[in-house]
Amino acid sequence: MTHALPAALDAELSSLLGADGWRTDAAARRAHGEDDSRQWALPDAVAVPRDPGQVVAIVRACRAHRVPLVARGAGTGTAAAAVPFAGGVVVSFARMDRILDIRPGDRCAVVEPGVLNGDLQQALQPHGLFWPPDPSSAERCTIGGNLACNAGGPRAVKYGATRDNVLGLVAVTGAGELIRCGGPWTKDATGYDLTHLIVGSEGTLALVVEATLRLAPRPQAQAGLRMFYRDAAAAAAAVSRLMRQPQVPAMLEFMDASAIALLRRNGTEVPEAGAMLLVEADGDHETLPYALQALADAAAGEGLLSLDVAADGAARDRLWAARRALSPALRSIAPGKINEDVVVPVSRIPDLVAAMEALSAESALPIVVFGHAGNGNLHVNIMYRPDDAGENARAHAALPRLFECVLALEGTLSGEHGIGVAKRDWMARAFDAPTLAAMRAVKSALDPDGILNPGKVLPPL
Amino acid sequence: MTHALPAALDAELSSLLGADGWRTDAAARRAHGEDDSRQWALPDAVAVPRDPGQVVAIVRACRAHRVPLVARGAGTGTAAAAVPFAGGVVVSFARMDRILDIRPGDRCAVVEPGVLNGDLQQALQPHGLFWPPDPSSAERCTIGGNLACNAGGPRAVKYGATRDNVLGLVAVTGAGELIRCGGPWTKDATGYDLTHLIVGSEGTLALVVEATLRLAPRPQAQAGLRMFYRDAAAAAAAVSRLMRQPQVPAMLEFMDASAIALLRRNGTEVPEAGAMLLVEADGDHETLPYALQALADAAAGEGLLSLDVAADGAARDRLWAARRALSPALRSIAPGKINEDVVVPVSRIPDLVAAMEALSAESALPIVVFGHAGNGNLHVNIMYRPDDAGENARAHAALPRLFECVLALEGTLSGEHGIGVAKRDWMARAFDAPTLAAMRAVKSALDPDGILNPGKVLPPL
C-alpha cells in the first residue's frame, strides 16, 4: 500500500515529526480512515503532532504541496466529517491530550484538543465544576471533536451546546497561521468573534490546538419527572410551557408513540401513550422540590395521561431506564438505521411527528422519533434491513422527505451531529445561494487554498 | 453645505427612497453625525430605508460608487462606531422599527433593527418573557445597535450579553447580498455560524435587517445582597466564590474604594470600606430565600465587613440606590471622564484595582472603578477637567497605561461598548498579527470593497 504524497512533503514531515509522529504504514492509515458514520477512506499519511508548532509546520507543508488535511479526534462523529475522502494527511490529536490548566476562580479550563470529554469531567469533579457538553459518546470523544461538530447532548437545554461553552481558541488556519481568539473571560466586545465561527466548522476553517472552556458549577442534586401524553401535540404544548417558566429544566427529552410502543414490545414497563417527556431538574437540596413542582405544574395540561416523580437519584435512574433502553431496542426492529438529528422550532414538534408517522406509513418502514425536545432537536430514526433491496431503497428515499419536511417547518439540518458529507448536499436547500456564497467566502478567507477537510460542510459548486 | 456624493448615486437613491428616505439637507446630515462618544463627523447623506430590499439597493448602489456606508441605530454607542469619519452615507434604521413576531411557544421574537430595546421589553411583558441584554441606555438604544456592539449590562452575568441571545439574522453584506443565518431554534450544528460573527462587528461586515432573538422567562421576583469588604482582593475572592456555586447571581456588581469614598462625600449612606459588591438573585417566591442564603454563604469569608439583605423589591431599590447614585456623583468630581469597559479574568480583578490605584496616584487624577464583577467587566473612569491642560494631558496619558495593564492581566479591551475608533489602535496590541490578519480576511470576505463602516474596529494597515 503506497501513498500518493509528494516525496518532498513526506521527507519534510517525516523528519519533523519522527517515526511515531508521521505514519505512512498501512495499519496507521487504515486505523485513521473511518468514523461512526461507518464510512471509510484511506488517508495517505497520519500526522500525530505534539504541539502547536508542529501543527503549524504540518499545515504549511501541506499547503505548499496543496495536500488535503483532515483533523481527527476520536472518530466518534456520525456525519463522516473525519473521513479523508480526498486522501491526504489525517492529523490526529492523540498526543495533544493534556489538560493545561484548571482555573476554578475564573471558572474555566484550558485544554489541548485530544483530551477526552469524560477525562475532563473527571478532572473537574474535585473542583465542583463540569463542562456542559454531554454527547452520548462523552467517555470516548475528544474536546477537539466536540468543538469541530458543536456537539451537544441533553444538558444543552439548560447549559448550551459546545459553542455556548467555549471562551477562547488557539487555532491554525488553512493559511498555516496560528491565531488566538477569546480568552479566560466571559464577556467580549473586542473585534470579530472568530472563536464561535471556528466552533462547528468541522475542521474546514482551522485546526484547534488549544481551547479555553467555560465551566459550570456542579449542582448538588438532580430529580426527575416522567410524563405520558395522549399525543405528540399535547407533549409539545407541554414542552413550550416547560420552556416558558423560569425553572429551566436541566434535560427535557421526548419520545414519540412508536418509541413507546417499541419499549413496550421489548418488555420495558411503560404505559400505552402517544408521547412521553422526561424532565430533569438540578439544583440545591433545598430548592429542588420547588423546581420540580414548578416543572410538574408546567407539564400538567390538556392530554396529560400520567406523571411520575423521581425525587432522588435511584428513582431518577429508574425513570431514565426507559430512555436508555431505547437505543438497544431500536436494534431489535431492524439492523439498519438512518439517524438524523434535525431541529425544528419547539412549536412545530407535533407537525414533525405527524409527518414522520405519515412517512413511515408511506415508506412501510418503522420511523422512531425521540430526543432533545427543549431545543426542538429530535433524532429521527428510519429503520430498515440493509440487505433487503426494497427496504434499503425506501429508507434512502425517505431521507430527502425528512429534510424537506424539516425545512418546510422552519427547522434546520443538524442540531449536534454536524454536516460532514452526510448532509452536505442539503446545505443548498437549507441556505439560499447568497448565504452559501458568504460561507464560501469565509472559508476562502481562512483557508485560501481549500486544503482543510475539502468536500465537507459546503456542497461542491 | 454641499455633499460630495457622485451625482448618479444621489439621483439613484433619491429616486429609490423618496424625499423622506434620502436626506442630503444640512439638518439631517448634522443630526446623524454623532453618537455618545461625543465625536462627530458629517455624512454626505442619510438613507432611511423602509425594508430589506431598500437596504440591498442602497448597499449595491454605494458599492458601485465605492461610497462608505455607516449603519446607525439610536447613536447611543460610546466608541464612535456610528460616527461617519469617512463621510458617505449614514443608513438610519429609524423606519425599520417593527416587532415582526413574538413567538412565546418558541421563546423567540423577530424584530427589525430599529426597535428600541425598552419597547421590545414592554411588548414582551404580557407574555412573561424578556430579552436579556440590558444596557443602561435600554430605553433609548435600538436592538440593531445592541447587535452591532454586542451590548451587555448587569444581567449578562446570568443571561449572557447580546451575542448569547440572538438565534438568527437576516443581513446585507458589503457585497450587497441578503443573507439568512440561524433561525427560530436554539441548537444548531448546520454550517458556519455567521450569526454570531456578525453580532459585535459594529456594522463592518453586514447590515442587520432582521433578527430572531432568544427570549428568557421573566422571573417572579428579585432579591438582593449588599456586601462591604476590607479591600478589593477580599471582594474579588468573594466574586469567584459567588460564581462557582450553582445559584447563578442575576447581577453581581463591584465598586472600588474610590467609588465608595465618592458616594460618602456625596451624602449616600454607605460605610467606609475597601470594596462593595451588590448581588441580585431572581426566581420564584418559594426558592428565592434559599438562593439568597446560598449567595450570602458564598459572599461570606475573609475580609467581609458587613452584609445587608434586601428580601423584597423596595429594600432592593434602597440597596441599589448606591449604584444609581454613582454616575451622577462622578460628575461632581470632574466634568471630564474617560470611561473604558475593560475585561479581566475574575481572579485578576484585585490586580486591576491595585494598578488603577497606583495609576491614580501617579497621574494625580481620580480613577473610579466599578462594574460587572461576575464577568470581570469593569468600568474604569479616569476623571479630569478637560479645560485644565495638565489634567487633560495626564488623563490621556493614563489611558494607554490602563490598556497595557489589562492586556498584561490576560484581559481584553471591551466587554460591552465595542471598539469603534476609540480603542481601534489598541487592537494591534490585543491581537497578534496573524489573528488581526484573519479578521481582515473575514472582513474582505463579507465586504470585499471595504465600504461598510471603514476605519472602525480594525486598525489601518
Q: Residues near B310 by Cβ (< 8 Å), separated by ≥ 6?
A: B223, B224, B225, B226, B316, B317, B318, B319
Residue A361 scores a pLDDT above 70: yes
Q: CA B362, B366, B370 angle in degrees (round to 5)?
A: 115
Question: Which range marks the domain in which residue B229 is found?
Answer: 219-332
| pLDDT score at A311 | 84
**Residue B99, strand partner residues:** B111
Statement: residue A2 has pLDDT above 90:
no
A318 lies in the same domain as A234 = yes
Say whether both A315 and A350 belong to one domain. no
* Contact residues on chain B for A180, CB-CB shorter than 8 A: 431-432, 435
> How far does A281 lie from chain B, in Å, by closest CA?
12
Same domain flag for B144 and B212 = yes
Q: What is the nearest CA distance from B407 to chain A, expressed in angstroms?
A: 11
* Of B106, B152, B193, Cβ closest to residue A345: B106
Q: Which of B188, B191, B294 sits opposite A427 (nearest CB)?
A: B191
A252 and A318 in a single domain? The answer is yes
Give the span between the Cα atoms of B224 and B239, in whole angstroms. 15
From chain A, pick out residues whose CB is under 8 angstroms from the CB of B282: 246
Identify whether A454 is part of a domain. no
Interface of A with B in 325-344 (CB under 8 A): 341, 343-344
For residue A453, being part of any structural domain is answered with: no
Residues of B in contact with A107 (CB under 8 A): 240, 243-244, 346
pLDDT of A56-66, one tens digit each? 999 999 999 99
Single-letter residue type at A56: V
- Considering all CA atoms of chain B, what is the largest pairwise distance in Å, rounded to the nearest integer? 70
The values of phi and psi at residue A39, to 5°, are: -95, 165
* CATH code, B54: 3.30.43.10
pLDDT tens for each residue of B340-356: 999 999 999 999 999 99
State how far the alpha carbon of A83 is from the alpha carbons of A11, A69, B56, B302, in Å: 24, 11, 40, 55
Domain end call among A217, A251, A270: A217
CATH label of the domain that carries residue A413? 3.30.70.2740
Band (pLDDT 50/70/90 cuts) for residue A145 is very high
Taking a contact as any Cβ pair under 8 Å apart, which residues of chain A between 165 and 184 contact chain B? 173, 175, 177-181, 183-184
Indicate if B86 and B41 belong to the same structural domain.
Answer: yes
pLDDT, tens only, A102-138: 999 999 999 999 999 999 999 999 999 999 999 999 9
* CATH number, position B244: 3.30.70.2190
Tell me if B2 is assigned to some domain: no
Residues above pLDDT 90, as percent of chain A = 92
What is the pLDDT at residue A1? 60
How is residue B158 written as a grid cell? 446570568
Weakest mean pLDDT among A288-297, B64-73, B320-329: B320-329
Residue B1 banded pLDDT, cuts 50, 70, 90: low
* Residue A460 domain flag: no
**Is residue A458 assigned to a domain?**
no
User: How far apart are alpha carbons A417 and B131 in whole angstroms?
Assistant: 29
Q: Cα(A65)–Cα(A49) distance, rounded to whole angstroms?
A: 19
Same domain (yes/no): A308, A318: yes
- Residues B185 and B126 reside in one and the same domain: yes
Cβ pair B399, B382 in contact under 8 A? yes
Average pLDDT value for residue range B285-294:
92
Set of chain A residues whose Cβ sits within 8 Å of the Cβ of B130? none
- Give the CATH number for residue B204: 3.30.465.10
State in Å, rounded, how far the first CA of chain A is from the last one.
32
The interface pTM score, or ipTM, of the predicted complex is 0.97
Q: How far apart are CA B280 and CA A438, in angstroms?
A: 42
Amino acid at B385: R
Q: B84 in a domain, yes or no?
A: yes
Pairwise CB contact (< 8 Å): B188 & A287: no
Instruction: For residue range B57-95, list pLDDT tens digits in order.
Output: 999 999 999 999 999 999 999 999 999 999 999 999 999
DSSP state of A34: B
* Whether B434 and A240 lie within 8 Å, measured CB to CB: no
- Minimum distance, in Å, between the CA of residue A26 and any CA atom of chain B: 33
In a domain, B224, yes or no: yes
Do residue B386 and residue B277 come from a single domain?
A: no
> Is residue A210 located within the same domain as residue A229?
no
Domain count, chain B: 4
Q: Based on the domain organization, do B373 and B440 belong to the same domain?
A: yes
**What is the pLDDT averaged over residues B1-6?**
81
Residue B304 lies in a domain: yes
Same domain, B15 and B27: yes
Tell me, yes or no, whether A212 and A230 share the same domain: no
C-alpha cell at A241: 410551557
**Position of cell 444640512?**
B26
CA atoms within 13 A on the CB side of B385: 7
Chain B contact for A188, CB < 8 A? yes
User: What is the Cα–Cα distance from A445 to A434, expressed in whole angstroms?
Assistant: 16
> CA dist A76 to A312, A346, A418, B191, Å?
32, 28, 12, 19
- Please say which residue of A295, A329, A363 terminates a domain: A329
Whether A147 and A113 have beta carbons less than 8 Å apart is answered as yes
Could you say which of A92, A118, A135 is where a domain stops? A92
